Every structure is written in C-alpha cells, then in structure tokens.
A and B are shown apart, each in its own frame.
Chain A
Amino acid sequence: MAKCALHPGRPPAAAILGKDYCRQCQLGILEARGWVHKHVQPKDCFVWYEGNDSWLPIDGTGCAHWVAHQMNIRAGGKGEQCLAGLTFRVKTLVSGRPRCSSPSLVRVNYIWASPAMDHVGIVVKVADPPKPGDPPKITIRHDSSAQGRVADNDFATYFKGRGIFFR
C-alpha cells in the first residue's frame, strides 16, 4: 500500500514528481512552489522539506540546479537534491569531473564554474577568436540571479575571463 514518502504513517494524497505525498506535504509543496524566486528554473522541484510539515524553497540562487537539470546530474545525497532528484550545490555538481586545462580546449556542453565555485553555467558556444592565437570566444548559459533569467553571457567580458571549465 502506498504511503507518504516522508510520513509513512500517513496515506498518500497526491503523486508529485513520481513520489507519493500526504495531504500536508502536498499543500506544503504547492505553497512553497509559489515562493520560489522568479529567475529559478525549473521551479516546481526547487522546494525542500524543513521538518514539522514545513516546505520552503531551497536556499541559494539555483544556478547549479539549472545546470543539473540541463545535464541530468543527480550527484549527492538527499540534502543535495531537489524534489526531482537533481543536484543543487555547485561543488557537488562538478565533483569528480576532470578540469579543462586551457580555454582553447573548451567545448560546447562543458561546465563553467566561477573561481570561488559560487556560480556555475554551461558552455553553449565556442567561436574562433577574432585574431589567430587569441583565446576562443566562449558563451556561457546560466541561471542568472542578477539578470533575473536564464541568460547567455560572454566569458571574456561578463565573467572577466575567469573561472574553471569541467568536461
């Protein structure tokens, strides 16, 4: 017999993202979804259980969460995954991935992380440099809290040419 994924003593009221939840969880999840910040994508799964029948949006900017959904990265344990099972921490997202040693070796779909590993995105375009010998022109797509949307930005200008690329 089905039970709430978090409260085995309670009957399920709804299936949400593949799991059964009781009435209290269902209402908590629905309410928390409404509080997720406007730039976060996707929104429906960016909520977590905080105990005592309380559901809230996951803390942080959601940058790693967006990358995880684009690349189907499910690393980490329960406290590191959204309701859909995708990673939402930068360090967990890139953990174990080999680093790219030079911007000239960067390819589309590599993950970019800021030098402090506090922001992350995906390489969506690598164009030849205007002058031979210069680094390629790299475009990063990222869930941008500062711009309020998923945005494409130039690595050299917006990100000041700094950061780490992961394969």
Chain B
Amino acid sequence: MAILVACAYCACSPAAPSATHANTVAVYLDGAERQSETDLQRREIQRALHDMLEKSPAELRQVRYADYSGEVGRWSVTELLRHYFVPRAGVALDERRFFEEFREPAARAVIQRQLDAVNRTLQ
C-alpha cells in the first residue's frame, strides 16, 4: 500500500507535512466529494462518520457496514470511506495510521464537517 499521505499529483509527502497533511483522516476527507445514490447509503455513511466520532479504535475496528446494495456487515470503516468519498487527489488511506489518528482533533473537525453535510442531505 502506498504511503498514506503521499499525494500522487503534488509534492506533498510525509517528509514535508503541512497543517492539513499531518493527519491521515483529515488529508483524506478534507474537501473530499461524497458520492452516494440512496438515502440507505447516506444513512450508512452517517452511521460510520458518527462512529468515528464516538467509538474507540478497538471498537471501530470491529464494526462492519452495509455495502452499496444494503447488504449488512460487508465493509470496514475504511472500505466504506473509499467506496463513497473521492479525496482531492490520489491519496492512499492507510489502515494502520487511520486507526491511530482518527480521534485526533484535526481528523474530528473534518469528520464533523462531512457528518454535518450528510445530515443536511438527509433532512
């Protein structure tokens, strides 16, 4: 798997981190476009983002989410993110670093913004 904060299309690298590139989850989700077709899918995204704000790494590792068709228990949280969010550039989402960093303030702020957006869509 690629280094998680190495952007394929720019000079960003772990060796030269900026404020937004310091956290895996923030890099991935900040400005990412959510693509989702049905409210069933949006509710599953909502659940995953909420879990990212509420659960411990150990708890979140155990959770599985429904896939595109609604079949339950198919995707891990990182699989769900990759199926629905298009980051600003080709950015790898490293599993290990994701679980180390998703509770950091920089990540939580971006997760909350994406959660707010999906909440508005579901209203």
Residue numbers of A with Cβ under 8 A of B are 37, 39, 48-54, 56, 58-64, 77-79, 88-91, 114-116, 118-119, 142, 144-148
Contact = CB atoms under 8 A, between A and B. Distances in A.
A146 B37 contact: yes
A89 B88 CA distance: 10
B86 A51 contact: no
For the residues of B in contact with A, the DSSP-based class is: loop
Given A50-B91, A56-B92, A59-B83, 10 more contacts: A37-B68, A39-B68, A49-B90, A51-B7, A52-B6, A58-B86, A78-B9, A79-B9, A119-B37, A146-B41
Nearest to B81: A59
Most A C-beta atoms less than 10 A away, residue of B40, B42, B81, B83: B83
A60 B37 contact: no
A52 B37 contact: no
B9 to A, nearest CB: 5
Given A50-B90, A51-B92, A115 B2 contact: no
B88 to A, nearest CB: 6
B49 to A, nearest CB: 14
A146 B38 CA distance: 7
Nearest to A6: B8
B92 A50 contact: yes
Most A C-beta atoms less than 10 A away, residue of B82, B89, B121: B89
20 contacts: A39-B68, A49-B8, A50-B2, A50-B90, A50-B92, A51-B6, A56-B90, A60-B35, A60-B85, A88-B86, A89-B33, A91-B33, A116-B120, A118-B33, A145-B41, A145-B68, A146-B37, A146-B38, A147-B69, A148-B68
